[in-house]
Amino acid sequence: MRRAAVVFAAALLGACSADLQDGHFACGPAGECPSGWFCVSGRCRSSAGGGMDAGPRDGGADLDAGADPDAGPPFDAGPDFDAGPPRPDAGSDAGGCGPCAPNETCVGGTCQCLPPLTVCTGACVDARTDPMRCGVSCARCVGTAFPSCVSGTCVACVIAADCNDGLDCTMESCTGGSCDHTVSVGCLIAGACRADAAPNPDNACQSCVHSAPMTWTNADGRPCDDGNVCNGTEACAGGSCEHFSPLSCGYMCDSSGCCGDATERCCAGRTCGGGRACYVASDTCRVCGGLGGQCCGSGTRPPGTCNVGLICVDDGTGNGRCDAM
């Protein structure tokens, strides 16, 4: 009857050892025993005082009189309760890598970059966006004409502000990693902003027209001056200053216009043509040599010359006049 009770108790403790020597069995690792049993000196007993050890109930041999209570297998003779994969802090990485960097993981015994990072110049980086190590070639974008990294490619820009050219006449935008510059006002010619209708400083017959903002436009019909008054009025045509309606002069034309004829001013050098002389008082050319006319020859004052039978005299105004002898 006693052994039956023990067997029943052992059945209740599925994890306990089957060692039933002297009616007791080993406690669990943490002193576990079936309900109503107590762990005493490593053995489960029916009472803390060891009531089941009082001796044989029917006067027979004590079941415990034989073998050493500890002769059987220990309660925990099976696998260690802690057996299993080593804990992460067991001293080495579970994959056998040893310590890996924070942005790495152990794969097949090797520390590898955590996706989407890849190795560039010995470090784990995001080569899709890193401007110092961009793309599969780990290219350096910074310091080049394509300073940004987008999808693993060095590009000129990411936003419009990356395209600022410092010019007041342009508007910037970024499209597909490329900068676009649009002339918003006036013109942009030879790298300089020009106001709308501003003339070309090297050609007065060209100007800025916003509809063609990258080059000078011919200003045909605009008045111009070629510096020659004798060839008449001038106007721009085909980007050049052209003259129209030249002056009609009886004798000659200089930088001030027609001169040398009877009703015209004296020419440079105080000369007149057609037998005329220059009268200084009026700076006009007059017929000389005749009676009452001006003296010819060396100037407007005596002793100029007159026609035969006449003499050059002072007319009272400082000019020479031909008079009768």
Condensed to tens digits (0 to 9), the pLDDT of residues 5-46 reads 443 434 444 434 444 444 557 888 777 787 777 777 777 776
Collapsing DSSP to helix, strand or coil, 172 comes out as: strand
Q: Where are the alpha helices (DSSP H) in the chain?
A: 2-12
| CA–CA distance, 154 with 149 (Å, rounded to integer) | 5
pLDDT at 31: 76
From 138, 184, 148, 141, select the one nearest 165 (Cα to Cα).
184
* 180 or 79, which is more confident: 180
Instruction: Tally the residues of the chain.
Output: 325
Collapsing DSSP to helix, strand or coil, 123 comes out as: strand
| pLDDT of 309 over the 70 cut | yes
Collapsing DSSP to helix, strand or coil, 109 comes out as: coil
> SS3 sequence, 27-75?
CCCCCCCCCCCEEECCEEECCCCCHHHCCCCCCCCCCCCCCCCCCCCCC
Confidence of residue 219 (pLDDT cuts 50, 70, 90): very high
Burial class (CB in 10 A: 0-12, 13-18, 19+), 140: middle
| pLDDT of 132 over the 80 cut | yes
Amino acid found at 260: G
Amino acid found at 73: P
| pLDDT of 236 over the 90 cut | yes
Give the Cβ contact number of residue 320 at 10 Å: 28
| CA–CA distance, 218 with 200 (Å, rounded to integer) | 10
DSSP structure class, residue 79: S
Mean pLDDT lowest for which of 49-58, 185-194, 309-318? Answer: 49-58
Whether 261 and 280 have beta carbons less than 8 Å apart is answered as: no
DSSP structure class, residue 215: S
pLDDT in tens, 240-290: 999 888 888 888 888 888 888 877 888 877 788 877 777 766 788 877 777
Collapsing DSSP to helix, strand or coil, 250 comes out as: coil
